[in-house]
Amino acid sequence: MGTDSGVHLPVMLDKIVSSLNLKPGHTVLDATIGGGGHAIEILDRIKPGGKLIGLDADASAVSRARGALGDSAALCILVNENFRNLDSVFEREGIKKIDACLFDVGISSFQMDDADRGFSFQRDARLDMRMDPGLRISAWDIVNKYREEDLSDIIYNYGEERFARRVARYIVNSRAEKPIDTTGELRSIVHRAVRGRRGRIDPATRTFQALRIAVNDELGALDEGLKKAIDRLSEGGRIAVISFHSLEDRIVKNIFKSCAASGILKIITRKPITASEEEKAVNPRSRSAKLRIAERVGAL
């Protein structure tokens, strides 16, 4: 995922906004409003008469977006809601269809940099990792209560960590002595488990990613939200999805392929678009970003 050192820069901004074929009067869904960076540019393209629906599972992200949008927030419907529930938001707001849609999936630098949220091992904090603080299960619960086999499965399947069994065993042995309360404690345990094996990334990265995905059911939400958004795209409407790791990208690719085979979508990007070298140098978060775009060809 990565972080951009406290300043949230929207990834591949120009490529995304131009790819959505936006026009004045369009209704657009920003399924992950985040800091509002993409939304500001989208609104510029759909004025006058346009409307933007901005969703985010994180209430603080909605507040940030409202501040960033300023007077333009009056043209938006901003809702603290996971995009998997976009159908209920549309029903409540009387929205029948959308002309374009953007998903910027994953964790933002704001969330990574907020120590109280317990997402990052860069800052020692209580293990949490809930994008929506109202969720029942946190990373603390998974780390301290789940069976070793279930822990191993989560770390392997969602983190693609080849030492998953070993990491799970070390976690279970450590928590038998005392609960694992903080990100720093967990990071130390993972480091011991993989015995300092170091590549390009910190040895704890994959385990932390896996826990975050499990806590927030990110892959299930992406699958559900994407299908619902495609259902509501008007003919000729574009959907753009930015993902940051292979598990997310695989879901997007497979849904697009399935919809293309059914005559619902036309795939615009046969291969995902990646950030330019210039953007990667300025915005580290963009290094792993993959952008896929499709267009609705079947009528609603």
Q: Does domain 121-216 have CATH number 1.10.10.10?
A: no
Domains 13-110+218-296 and 121-216 alike in fold: no
- Entry pTM: 0.89
Judge contact between 233 and 199, C-beta under 8 A. no
Task: Look at residue 163 in the predicted model and tell me its pLDDT.
Answer: 95
AA identity, residue 210: A
Residue 20 CA, distance from chain mean position: 19
Q: Does domain 13-110+218-296 have CATH number 3.10.310.30?
A: no
- Domain locations along the chain: 13-110+218-296, 121-216
Q: What is the pLDDT along the chain (300 residues), one digit of tens a residue?
A: 333 333 457 889 889 999 999 999 999 999 999 888 899 999 999 999 999 999 998 888 898 889 989 888 888 999 999 999 999 999 999 999 999 999 998 665 544 555 555 566 677 888 998 988 889 999 999 999 999 999 999 999 999 999 999 999 999 999 999 999 999 999 999 999 998 666 678 899 899 999 999 999 999 999 999 999 999 999 999 999 999 989 999 999 999 999 999 999 999 999 999 999 998 898 888 888 999 999 999 765
Coil, strand or helix at 8: coil
Task: Look at residue 2 in the predicted model and tell me its pLDDT.
Answer: 37
DSSP 148-179: HHHHHHHHHHHH--TTHHHHHHHHHHHHHHS-
| 126 DSSP assignment | B
